[in-house]
Structure 1
Amino acid sequence: MRLTRMLLVALLGFASFSLQASEQVAIQRLTTLLNQAQTISGRFSQLTLDGSGTQLQETSGEMALKRPGQFRWHTDAPMEQLLVSDGEQIWLYDPDLEQVTIQKMDQRLTHTPALLLSGDVSQIADSFEITLKEGGNVVDFILKPKAADSLFESLRLSFRNGVINDMQLIDNVGQRTNILFLGVQMNPPIPASQFTFEVPAGADVIQE
């Protein structure tokens, strides 16, 4: 009986060690993939579904990212919007409303998903529990936020041949946002002007 108990404890200890080791492998793989691109540009196609799978919104546009924490996310008409960050603050411009919202950048990866691709990679292990699944030339990473106040419940990052391919976010009510990246270029030269924004004349400004 005592031997059986000792064996059970040893097996549980081994299982815990294996789980920690596999998570370390996932963290290292994801960190390596993200670090290989200091800048990224391309197009995106975004689809949002509610908890029952009903389509809520479909958009597309262009994006540009640069470490640390800079991004430009331009959604095409007819739902045109421009989201720009210089790493310290974010501008959200709605040309139809002629309105600009300015707010301080939230540096938490669990609150600003774009920072997973453009932010400080060293924070990932502190912010998420990470697992990976690999098949052929595709590697999927599932990220579960450790913080209780995260804006999403889980996030999947998928890489194909070492290049970011798509992202899926699931929030606390089951709403899913799928983002497919198209024509991705890694480490292209991107001018600094892409990550700043001048408020158009006559636009209303909301400072948060």
Structure 2
Amino acid sequence: MLILILTISAAQLHAQTPTAQSQAERIDRHYNALHSLSVHFTQKYDGMGMHRQESGTLLLKKPGKMRWTYNQPAGKLFVLDGDNAYFYSPGDMEIPRVTAKKLDDLRSPLRFLLGHTQLAKELTNLQINPAENGAFTLSGIPKNMEQRIASFTLTASAAGVIQSMRIEETDGAINLFTFSDEQPNAPATDADFVFHAPAGTHIIEGMPPV
């Protein structure tokens, strides 16, 4: 009887413990059900002799649209209109434009949220570890970014809501994004993702800045 009880308890515990696959699917279900999303973000960057912290609001709209509006520093903007990405900082006279297919930017791992998410297929060597307050971390390497990213960790709640994203590059630079105040299906129109170059600036073909 004792052996039977222990066996049942072990089976129940195993059933209640999320696997990397099940937690990835939970995140998939959460974001695949959304048409748009608004969330506050904070970005901390350490690398190349720089240490900076920035923050603002991220707005997503399916398919393929993303807008990062910064309040620190005020006026900074990143827009992905579905075809091209634009990077603007106050004072810039030239604004780099990069096609979405060639986008190699630290924000790009979040692009899996812009379509039909299959997180387990987006990350190689997927692993899971428990985090605080019932959350879990998933780690792996985003496909097609192996030459740039050494490690990628996503922390999400038990319900599948992403709380943070940590990216370590192969050169040792570390980017940490934290997210809060998520608003599922927030108001978002196509006009929100049209980039308007400020007066006196011009758009150039280029690569995204760090």
Q: Shorter-chain TM-score: which interval? A: 0.7 to 0.9
Matched, 1:164 2:159: no
Distance 1:130 1:105 in 2: 25
Matched, 1:38 2:27: no
Distance 1:108 1:131 in 2: 26
- Deviations along 1:96-139, one digit per CA (max 9) or x if unpaired, are 12332112112789972230332442475055332222455312
Aligned length: 185
Percent identical across equivalent pairs? 23
The secondary structure found in structure 2 opposite 1:198 is coil
Matched, 1:118 2:132: no
2:142 maps to which of 123, 140, 145 = 145
| Alignment correspondent of 1:95 | 90
Structure 1 gaps, min length 5: 1-21
| Alignment correspondent of 1:105 | 100
Worse-matched range after superposition: 168-177 or 96-105: 96-105
Distance 1:109 1:93 in 2: 16
| Alignment correspondent of 2:179 | 181
Distance 1:130 1:34 in 2: 19
Q: Kindly provide the amino acid, as one letter, of the partner of residue 81 in structure 2.
A: D
Q: For the structure 1 residues 201 and 108, does the alpha-carbon distance in structure 2 shift closer, same or farther, using more than 3 Å as the test?
A: closer
TM score, norm. by length of structure 2: 0.74
Distance 2:174 2:123 in 1: 20
Worse-matched range after superposition: 129-138 or 176-185: 129-138
CA RMSD of aligned residues (A): 2.9
| Alignment correspondent of 2:13 | none
The secondary structure found in structure 2 opposite 1:133 is strand
Q: Kindly provide the amino acid, as one letter, of the partner of residue 200 in structure 2.
A: G
TM score, norm. by length of structure 1: 0.74
Q: For the structure 1 residues 68 and 148, does the alpha-carbon distance in structure 2 shift closer, same or farther, using more than 3 Å as the test?
A: closer
Q: Kindly provide the amino acid, as one letter, of the partner of residue 125 in structure 1.
A: K
Q: Kindly provide the amino acid, as one letter, of the partner of residue 115 in structure 1.
A: R
Q: Kindly provide the amino acid, as one letter, of the partner of residue 194 in structure 2.
A: T
